[in-house]
Amino acid sequence: MKKHLIHWAVSILAIIFVAYLIPGVYVSGIFTALVVAVVLGLLNIFIRPIFLIFTLPINILTLGLFTLVINAAMVMLTSRIVEGFSVSGFWAALIFGLILSLVNHILHLGGK
């Protein structure tokens, strides 16, 4: 349980940091970053697998690179749901999702 809380806290900090780095991504505060982490996590649990199944042929054709587009779509959908979090366009969402995925991947590797 402690490991999950640490992972969640680092994800919130990563959301704030990445939003600060990337022009076009805005997070109004820590509570908003917390809500973004929760909503993005829920979307990745329930909606992302459906997207991956429907886009499997194009994902195979692009050797998995289309998954980055799906990640950007999840970020853009999160910005529509959460007040205080905005993403100006596709490229900002793509870079935001990519950096956030890298941070989470590094956290996952460090937790083993």
Q: What is the pLDDT of residues 68-96, one digit of tens each?
A: 999 999 999 999 999 999 999 999 999 99
- Which 3 state secondary structure label does DSSP give 7? helix
Q: What angle do CA 14, 18, 7 make, to 5 degrees?
A: 10
The pLDDT of residue 112 is above 70: no
Q: By the 8 A CB rule, do 96 and 22 touch?
A: yes
pLDDT of residue 109: 84
Q: What is the pLDDT of residues 24-43, one digit of tens each?
A: 999 999 999 999 999 999 99
pLDDT of residue 111: 64
Rounded mean pLDDT of the chain?
A: 92
pTM score, two decimals?
A: 0.91
Q: By the 8 A CB rule, do 14 and 85 touch?
A: no
The pLDDT of residue 10 is above 90: no
**16 to 2, 13, 22: CA distances (angstroms):** 21, 5, 10
Closest CA to 55 of 43, 65, 45: 65
User: Domain coordinates of the chain in residue numbers?
Assistant: 2-110
